[in-house]
Amino acid sequence: MIVAVASDHAGFTAKEIIVKEAKRLGHEVLDLGTNDCSSVDYPDYALKAAELVASGKAQRGILACGSGIGMCIVANKVKGARASIAHDVYSAAQGIEHNDMNILCIGGKVVDHKLTPQLVEAFLNASFLKGEERFERRSSKIKAIESANFK
């Protein structure tokens, strides 16, 4: 799987852990920066990753900033991006299984760095529960809302 990964300065340390874990799991990583802890604007990095995921050039994305909130807000402005914050293993997997999430947002100042690899693994190993009527129905409704809002 191709995974687009990006962070701002506050998520840089988490991003380095994310990249390492995704590669360890055998995924191709598109590291979109930032490349150090110098202050940058998170929207620039979130947008790059969300556009790659929405276009299909990457199958998943993982974003990190201080809280995860800013990256999540920006990513969800891109049609086809379905981003959410997850600061626990259950939510990182369940977001894909039930909600067809394709971008995970992590708070680099919120999540213990020992937990970050577990979030990455849960997110990248999960699959949307296709064939489950209730999840398919709900996913279709989300996509219909998105289409109506992006005309």
* 9 catalytically annotated: no
* 65 catalytically annotated: yes
Domain 2-149 has CATH 3.40.1400.10: yes
Enumerate the domain spans of the chain: 2-149
Distance of CA 110 to the CA centre of its chain: 16
Among 9, 27, 65, 105, the one annotated catalytic? 65
Share of the chain above pLDDT 70, in %: 99
CA dihedral 41, 50, 146, 140 (to 10 degrees): -150
Q: Token pair of 145, please?
A: 């809302």
Residue 108 CB contacts under 8 Å (≥ 6 apart), including other chains? 7, 10, 11, 12, 13, 14, 15, 64, 65, 66, 68
pLDDT in tens, 73-115: 999 999 999 999 999 999 999 999 999 999 999 999 999 999 9
Which of 120, 7, 116, 112 is CA-nearest to residue 68? 7
pLDDT for 41 equals: 97
The model's confidence at residue 150, banded by pLDDT at 50, 70 and 90, is low
Phi, psi of 83, deg, nearest 5: -105, 150
Q: pLDDT at residue 56 above 80?
A: yes
